[in-house]
């Protein structure tokens, strides 16, 4: 689904103008980013959860040379489907 088709769908479903839907969709990534950084987790009911996770430093291997190398510690985001979205995905044939 493209952004335009998402805007069209949401506008039709909610009777909200396309301009207003676009403004909300444009603000959503920044809102999620701000909340994850500040609180460590965001839950969008029946859609997804975004969680800040810490990855410890570890040893890895260069796949081309086989040489050992250190992979530095870092922060990452874990995104998981929840609620109705998770149920819909689980119901899909394998």
Whole-angstrom distance, CA of residue 91 vs CA of residue 80: 16
DSSP assignment of 4-71: HHHHHHHHHHHT--HHHHHHHHHHHHHHHHHHHHHHSEEEETTTEEEEEEEE--EEEE-TTT--EEEE
Domain residue limits, the chain: 1-39
pTM for the full predicted model: 0.75
Q: Output the tens digit of pLDDT for each of the chain's 94 residues.
A: 999 999 999 999 999 999 999 999 999 999 999 999 999 999 999 899 999 999 999 999 999 999 999 999 999 999 999 999 999 999 999 8
């Amino acid at each position: 689904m493209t952004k335009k088709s998402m805007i069209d769908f949401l506008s039709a479903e909610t009777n909200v103008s396309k301009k207003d839907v676009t403004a909300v969709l444009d603000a959503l990534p920044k809102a999620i980013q701000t909340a994850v950084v500040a609180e460590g987790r965001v839950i969008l009911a029946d859609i997804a959860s975004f969680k800040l996770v810490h990855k410890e430093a570890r040893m890895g291997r260069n796949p081309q040379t086989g040489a050992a190398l250190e992979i530095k510690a870092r922060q990452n985001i874990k995104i998981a489907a929840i609620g109705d979205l998770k149920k819909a995905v689980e119901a899909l044939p394998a």
